[in-house]
Amino acid sequence: MPRSSACRRMLAVPRALVSQNKRRFQQDGFDLDLGYVHPRIIVMGYPAVGVEFLFRNPRSEVQQFLEERHSGDYFVFNFCDEPKRSYSPSIFEGRVKNYPIEDHNVPTFQMMMAFCDEAAAWLDADEKHVVALHCKAGKGRAGMMACMLLLRMGYAASATDAIDRYNRERVHDRRGLTVVSQKKWVNYYATLRAQTSVPGDVFLEPTFEIQKLRLNNTLTAAKLPKLRLRVFTLRPDGTFKSLFHQDTGSNEFELHEEIRGCVLLEFYRERLNGCMRAKHFKVWFNTYFLNPDKETGCVVFSRSEMDWAARDKKYRRLPAAFELEMIVARSEL
C-alpha cells in the first residue's frame, strides 16, 4: 500500500489541478487520476516518469495499483501518439499494446475494430481479466475507445448509453467525452456493430472526389476572415496524409481531390494581418457514411457537427445556422 508522506500531500494539489473535472481513485492509500467506467474497464491518465510524475499519475504507483488489485489479470492499452509517451511493455508485465491516435482526433476504422476485438478477446478469456486504457489526460482518446469497448462487450445498449455511462463514471460534471468528432466515432462504431454479423467483418470504404466546399450562413462578407483549408486522410497506421491546402478570402473552395476512409477538413482563419492563424472549425467524417444527395452530390455539415465551434459560445465567428456544404462525386471502381 502506498505510504502517506508530506511529499504525497504536497503533490496532491498540482495533480488535482491537472485532473480538473475527472474523478480520482482515492482508496487504500492511492490517489490516482483513474476511474472504473465498468468493473472490468479502467480509464486513467498517462503513467508518467520524470518531471511529469509530479502532476500526473506516477508510473510506479500505477504499477502497484494494478498489481495489488488485478495481479496477472490486467492488460494496458496506450492511445498516445507522442513518441515520448511510448514505453516498454515490460513496464506492465509485457501486457501493453499501443494504438496511436493524435490528441483530440480519431482512429482509422481498422484501428478501432482491431482494438475492440483485441480488448474483447482478453476480457472474454477470463472473467477476472480487466483492461486499463490511457491517453495523456485519460479523458478524450481513451474515453472514446472505452465507449466503443462498452458497446463491443454488451455493457452498453447504444452509443448514447455508452457515452452517458462514461461521462457519469469518469468525471464529476458529466463533461467527459466532449470532442464532437470523437462522439461521432462512437456512433459510427455502434452502427458498424449493428451492420456486421462478425466483429472482425471487413467493410469497404468508398472513394469520392470532393469538388467544392462552400460555407453557408456565414458572417457578412465584410467580416468574413481570410481562411486556409487543409484536407487530410488517415493512413492505416493512424498518421495524417495531407491532400490539399488553399487560402481564400471568399466562402468557397474549388478542389478536385479523391478521398477515401477517414477524412479531416480543417479550417483556419488569419489574424493580425496574416501574421498568425487561429483555429476556425474542423470536420471529421468517414466516406463509408457519406450519403450525398443523388442529384446534386451535396453533403451538409451543421455547426453541431464541427470541432472547435463550441468555443464560439456567443456565435461571433460561426452563427447558429452556419453550415459547411460539400459537393462530391462517387469515383468509379
In 96-223 the beta strands, taken as DSSP E runs, fall at: 96-98, 130-134, 207-216
* Percent of the chain topping pLDDT 90: 74
Q: Do domains 6-195 and 207-330 have the same CATH topology?
A: no
Does domain 207-330 fall under CATH 2.60.40.1110? My reply is yes
C-alpha cell at 199: 466483429
- Per residue in 115-162, pLDDT (tens digit) is 999 999 999 999 999 999 999 999 999 999 999 999 999 999 999 999
- Tell me what pLDDT residue 3 has: 43
CA distances 140 to 5, 43, 146, 179, 238, Å, are: 32, 10, 10, 7, 16
Domain edges within the chain: 6-195, 207-330
Q: C-alpha angle with apex 41: 39 to 43, nearest 5 degrees? A: 120
Does domain 6-195 fall under CATH 3.40.640.10? My reply is no
- Per residue in 296-314, pLDDT (tens digit) is 999 999 999 999 999 899 9
Catalytic residue numbers, as ranges: 135
Res 7 pLDDT > 80: no
Q: Exposed, middle or buried: residue 57 (CB in 10 Å: 0-12, 13-18, 19+)?
A: buried
Contacts of 323 (CB under 8 A, 6+ apart): 215, 216, 217, 300, 301, 302, 303
Res 272 pLDDT > 80: no
Q: What single-letter DSSP state applies at residue 25?
A: B
C-alpha cell at 92: 506492465
Helices 109-125 & 141-152, crossing angle to 10 degrees? 60
Res 222 pLDDT > 50: no
Q: What is the model's pTM? A: 0.91
